[in-house]
């Protein structure tokens, strides 16, 4: 295939896959909840079993992160996600309020376009496959080119297992000719009903401007505040455990530590003891020039790299066993490279007079590329914790937990997810950890409980001459179950 034809081939492949996915979804939506549950369980079990191999593929193909940590991410994406969604009602009648006479009926959105980043390729593909099928949808993946093979392998093994349980072919699909024109064609395709986009801000903006409904989540610039009442050593441990997890590739990992002057030296001492390295002024300048290009954009070559690798790239030497590189900082913005999202084992360090000014600094950091995403606070003071929660423009405020693992629901009781909504403030259509319920529409069957005369009487309005009173016994002894069963039979032929 010539380079000049690659764009056209990519577009044609997208068209073919969307058509297959649409036909497959027409069959899938006729499955019962029980049948869907069995398919999803088999898919999750298969992905869990293959977690090790898939992690190795992702690490070798992308060059990002830590192989062992990718295994954990794959297991969270398969087992943890499955355990959370297994009993969830997503097909047919999902709620019935007999007293209020309202019946809620779930309908799948249809064909989903799934955009997958290179930083978390296999785990994201596993997770999106499970939540798509659980909600009765088919999905077409557009993988990041540098993670194509590992993402396609996830799709292949899960599709094969789904078919063994009676799922139609092509409920899971993956493009094999990655090209920007192909991805654009996928997002704009008239038969794509929803875009589930995880990745950089440019890609997320493209998803929202495609003309199709989208759930897009972009970058995080997560501050971790250590307040004076915190268990300092434990807080530092949690931050470093999070920041070094898969070498910082999860967008919810900490990007800056903010603390109070009164405990600054204790925090620094604990960081040094646990493997952090504080850069001097010369080293800071070299590393800053390495993580950020002269035009102010992020240098993707440092993403998912170890502290030692980044030090080597910057031309500096650090002690053996260094886990994280830290630069003391005061400002926020393009002139301060360490204040940005870094997706690697690099942190900024700020110290403020008290928790109130620390709170302001955290907001400043969030405004610089992290609005709506995540913030962490380490504290034993519930009043301060609540004040942070009330003031912060984020969708997740995590307390005394590693941010990377906490935000995705691994160390908290949040919905286990690899797509983390940032809410309206962050330019996202949802603030949720995205799950199956975000991928369905809910129809409401509502029976009349009042007549016009009842409204007039309720609001003290005299009846007009255009109404007449007729005794209506249609809702007496109403058999809702029988009626909803008849309605469901008719809905099978409707999207």
pLDDT score, position 404: 97
Q: What is the pLDDT of residue 205?
A: 83
Q: What confidence score (pLDDT) does residue 160 get? A: 98
DSSP string, 135-169: TT-EEEEEE-GGGHHHHHHHHHHHHHHHHHTTPPT
Angstrom distances, CA of residue 199 to CA of 202, 203, 362: 8, 6, 23
Tens-place pLDDT, residues 401-438: 999 999 999 999 999 999 999 998 988 889 999 999 99
Q: Which CATH number applies to 222-415?
A: 3.40.309.10
What is the model's pLDDT at position 98? 94
Spans in the chain with pLDDT lower than 50 = none
Residue 477 pLDDT:
55
User: By C-alpha distance, which of 99, 84, 3 is closest to 40?
Assistant: 84
Q: CATH 3.40.309.10 region(s) of the chain?
A: 222-415
* pLDDT given for residue 216 in this prediction: 83
Active site residue 251: yes
Domain with CATH 3.40.605.10 in the chain: 3-218+435-440
**What pLDDT is recorded for position 242?**
98
How confident is the model at residue 456, as a pLDDT?
86
**Cα–Cα dist 399/386, whole Å:** 10
What's the pLDDT score for residue 204?
Answer: 79
Read off the pLDDT of residues 314-354 as tens digits, 9 standing for 90 and up: 999 999 999 999 999 999 999 999 999 999 999 999 999 99
pLDDT at 445: 96
172 burial level (CB within 10 Å; 0-12, 13-18, 19+): buried
Residue 67: Cβ within 10 Å count = 14
CATH domain 3-218+435-440 topology = Aldehyde Dehydrogenase; Chain A, domain 1 (3.40.605)
SS (H, E, C) 231-263: CHHHHHHHHHHHHCHHHHCCCCCEEEEEEEHHH
Name the catalytic one among 174, 251, 359, 362.
251
């Amino acid at each position: 295939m010539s380079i000049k034809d690659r764009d056209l081939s990519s577009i044609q492949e997208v068209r073919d896959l969307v058509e297959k996915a649409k036909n497959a979804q027409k069959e899938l939506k006729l499955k019962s909840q029980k049948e869907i549950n069995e398919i999803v369980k088999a898919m999750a079990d298969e992905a869990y079993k293959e977690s090790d191999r898939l992690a190795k593929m992702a690490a070798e193909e992308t060059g990002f992160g830590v192989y062992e940590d990718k295994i954990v991410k794959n297991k969270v994406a398969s087992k943890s996600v499955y355990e959370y969604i297994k009993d969830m009602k997503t097909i047919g009648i999902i709620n019935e309020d007999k007293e209020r006479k309202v019946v809620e009926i779930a309908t799948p959105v249809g064909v989903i376009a799934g955009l997958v980043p290179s930083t978390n390729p296999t785990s994201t593909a596993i997770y999106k496959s499970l939540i798509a099928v659980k909600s009765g949808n088919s999905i077409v993946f557009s993988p990041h080119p540098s993670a194509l093979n590992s993402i396609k392998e996830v799709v292949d093994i899960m599709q094969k297992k789904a078919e063994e349980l009676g799922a139609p072919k092509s409920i899971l699909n993956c493009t094999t000719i990655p090209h920007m024109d192909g991805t654009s064609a996928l997002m704009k395709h008239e038969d794509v009903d929803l875009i589930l986009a995880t990745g950089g801000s440019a890609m997320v903006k493209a998803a929202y401007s495609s003309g199709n409904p989208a759930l897009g989540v972009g970058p995080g610039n997560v501050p971790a505040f250590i307040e004076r009442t915190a268990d300092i050593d434990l807080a530092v441990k949690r931050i470093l455990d999070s920041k070094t997890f898969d070498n910082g590739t999860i967008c919810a990992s900490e990007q800056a530590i903010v603390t109070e002057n009164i405990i600054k030296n204790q925090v620094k001492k604990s960081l040094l003891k646990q493997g952090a390295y504080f850069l001097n002024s010369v080293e800071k300048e070299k590393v800053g020039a390495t993580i950020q290009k002269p035009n102010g954009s992020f240098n993707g070559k440092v993403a998912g790299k170890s502290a030692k690798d980044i030090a080597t790239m910057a031309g500096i030497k650090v002690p053996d066993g260094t886990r994280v590189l830290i630069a003391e900082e005061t400002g926020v913005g393009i002139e301060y490279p360490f204040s940005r999202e870094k997706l690697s084992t690099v942190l900024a360090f700020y110290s403020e007079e008290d928790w109130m000014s620390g709170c302001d600094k955290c907001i400043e950091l969030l405004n610089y590329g992290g609005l709506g995403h995540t913030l962490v606070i380490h504290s034993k003071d519930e009043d301060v914790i609540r004040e942070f929660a009330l003031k912060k423009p984020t969708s997740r405020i995590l307390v005394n937990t590693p941010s990377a693992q906490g935000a995705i629901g691994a160390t908290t009781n949040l919905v286990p997810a690899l797509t983390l909504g940032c809410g309206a403030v962050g330019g996202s259509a949802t603030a949720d950890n995205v799950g199956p319920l975000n991928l369905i529409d809910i129809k409401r069957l509502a029976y009349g409980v009042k007549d016009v005369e009842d409204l007039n009487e309720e609001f003290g309005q005299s009846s007009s001459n255009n109404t007449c009173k007729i005794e209506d016994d249609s809702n007496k002894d109403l058999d809702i179950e029988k009626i909803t069963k008849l309605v469901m039979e008719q809905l099978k032929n409707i999207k």
